Amino acid sequence: QKEVEQNSGPLSVPEGAIASLNCTYSDRGSQSFFWYRQYSGKSPELIMFIYSNGDKEDGRFTAQLNKASQYVSLLIRDSQPSDSATYLCAVNGWSGGGNKLTFGTGTQLKVEL
């Protein structure tokens, strides 16, 4: 079992719809959870992080965390074609004597006109 699992997609949604991206993790001791967006050929850019159970909203983005279920999700409201990218879930946990960020393989999102 991978430490951080994401559906690779592609996830296709129409413009204006809500896109829902999901991520599960295996380490119950994980403390912080991140969502990054990566356009093709570019480096990952941070969208938001969450560390408490519940929802965290930032503009059109909402991160949801459920530590009991070891599940974190990202909702994108009013999806735009410019949101088409790969979304990486990352989980911060303790490994090898220090905090370490483990990335999922990413979910490709396509927002269609």
90: CB partners within 8 A, 6+ apart? 4, 33, 34, 35, 36, 101, 102, 103, 104
Listed ranges 9-17, 18-26, 45-53, 67-75: which one lies at the site for another protein (CB under 8 A): 45-53
Per CB under 8 A, the list member of 14, 18, 99, 112 interacting with another protein is 99
User: Per rule CB under 8 A, is residue 103 in the interface with another protein?
Assistant: yes
CA–CA dist 102, 91 (Å, integer): 5
User: Per rule CB under 8 A, is residue 64 in the interface with another protein?
Assistant: no
Query: How many residues bind to another protein according to rule CB under 8 A?
Result: 24
